[in-house]
Amino acid sequence: MKKNIVSYLVKRFLRFDKDQPFIFISALLAFLGISIGVTVLLIAMALMNGFDNEFKKKLTVMNYPLTILPKFYGTVNRDLLIELETNFPDLKFSPYVQSSVMVRSGSKLEGGYLFGVHFDDEAAVNSVVAKAVEGVTFKKFDVVVGKTLFDEFMLSTNDKVMYIFTNVEPGGLSVTPKIKRFKVRSVFDSGLSAYDKAYSYTTLESLQKILHMPQNLYDGIHVFSKNPREDIFRIKKTLPATTTVRGWWQDNVNFFAALEMEKASLFIVLMLIILIAAINIISSLLMTVMNRRAEIALLLSLGASTSEIKKVFLYLGVVIGISGIVAGVVFGLGGIWVLSTFDIVHLPKDVYPTATLPLDLSLQDFVLIVSGAFAIVIVSAYYPAKKASEVDILTVLRNE
């Protein structure tokens, strides 16, 4: 019976009152505010996660999951490569030689890095390079350049570009930089303009010859691993003390820390939308309490307990809040589906790692948003419910 009284009063107080329309309007605004807040939060968190994952995917490829580096010159060599391939048959290895260079075509000049690699091995560890070299036969002093550099220099396939190496050679009474012309054989597109402008790839033999390096020595070894954070410890155990191994994330710690901070800040700021909407719940319920004081006093005098009155207004706030949360979840997930299915927003590919909106809502973020909104609703409904249960029966009945 008591339960029926509570549910009956909740339904009655939710109805539109012609005499007091502002109470209903305030409750409606609270509902809309919460639903909009939840919708925006879901889409914003999905966007943040999507960009985060897209950057991780691109950086994992171009920075390589793992890289083995020498602590001293000559410690990364063919013997170490053979040992690694024997000990870790589940991983892919690509030895490389690297040099910082200036790339020149006509009057244009750009700085960057030239990698000497075995293209078959490099294709196994770098999907971007693999796509660029597919079906292409490379000879000595052929080069693969990034799309940004290719477009900026207005190059064509088989054009020649000049590479000026930073290490110099003695010549008479002065030193001169090493200069070599390379033929552009293919173009790679990583989706990150910084890498597409700075990185170039040639054959390992070509760069070793230019740098006068023995064929069995390398500047490092790129490693492809599906679980680099776990495999880094496996590799460390077998490496000699003269070498080290680094993960792609170790070179991008500050970048991803900034992304996490931005995500947390965005979550807090957008949660304020729900908090502001919750103020409407408080004001709506307080107006209801003030308007229904005579009814509350009468109910209390007829035997209704203060806990029942408190439940009525607590449930009122919860119904408004949960309705807004459910509507926000429906609109938010619907918005995510629409944005991910249809190419509504097109991003400039030279600025972002993808031309379409990357959306990925994690279960953790979803639970955090819904539970956070629910907690705000409960807290907002508690104070008006408490005030309703504290109505003075004698004073109200005497005056009203």
Say whether pLDDT at 375 is over 50.
yes
The 8-class DSSP code of residue 356 comes to B
- Beta strand pairing call for 160-171 and 243-247: unpaired
Residue 314 pLDDT class (50, 70, 90 cuts)? confident
Count of beta carbons in the 10 Å neighbourhood of residue 137: 8
Q: Beta strands of 207-308 (E only): which ranges?
A: 220-224, 243-247
Q: What is the structure's pLDDT at 243?
A: 92
β pairing state of 174-188 and 142-146? parallel
Mean pLDDT, residues 340-367: 74
Q: What is the pLDDT of residue 142?
A: 93
Q: What is the reported pLDDT for 19?
A: 64
Does the structure show a pLDDT above 60 at 172?
A: no
pLDDT of residue 340: 82
DSSP 16-45: --SS-HHHHHHHHHHHHHHHHHHHHHHHHH
What value does the mean pLDDT take over residues 366-371? 90
Radius of gyration from C-alpha coordinates of the chain: 33
Mean pLDDT of 112-129: 92
Q: Does residue 323 surpass a pLDDT of 60?
A: yes
Mean per-residue pLDDT over the chain, rounded: 83
pLDDT for 388-399, tens place per residue?
777 666 665 666
Q: Examine the pLDDT at 317 and tell me if it is beyond 70.
A: yes
| 1: pLDDT strictly greater than 50 | no
Please report the pLDDT score of residue 282 as a whole number. Answer: 80
Long-range contacts of the stretch 307-310 (C-beta < 8 A, 24+): 307/389, 308/2, 308/5, 308/6, 309/385, 309/388, 309/389, 309/391, 310/385, 310/386, 310/388, 310/389
> What pLDDT, on a 0 to 100 scale, did the predictor assign at position 113?
92
Which of 184, 163, 50, 76 lies closest to 111 in space, CA to CA?
163
How does residue 119 score in pLDDT terms, banded at 50, 70 and 90? very high
What pLDDT was estimated at residue 16?
Answer: 62
Q: What is the pLDDT of residues 181-214, one digit of tens each?
A: 999 999 998 878 888 899 999 999 999 998 888 8
pLDDT, average across residues 94-106? 91
Confidence of residue 263 (pLDDT cuts 50, 70, 90): confident
Q: Can you give the pTM of this predicted structure? A: 0.68
Residue 163 has pLDDT above 90, yes or no: yes
34-68 tens-digit pLDDT? 888 889 889 988 888 888 877 777 777 788 899 99
Q: What pLDDT is stored for residue 264 in this prediction?
A: 84
pLDDT at site 2: 46
pLDDT band, residue 348 (cuts 50/70/90): low
Would you tell me how many other CB atoms lie within 10 Å of the CB of residue 273? 18
Q: How confident is the model at residue 312 (pLDDT cuts 50, 70, 90)?
A: confident
For the segment 305-334, the average pLDDT, to the nearest whole number, is 85
Q: Is the pLDDT of residue 344 over 80?
A: no
Place of tokens 């790129």: 222
Question: pLDDT band at 266, cuts 50/70/90?
Answer: confident
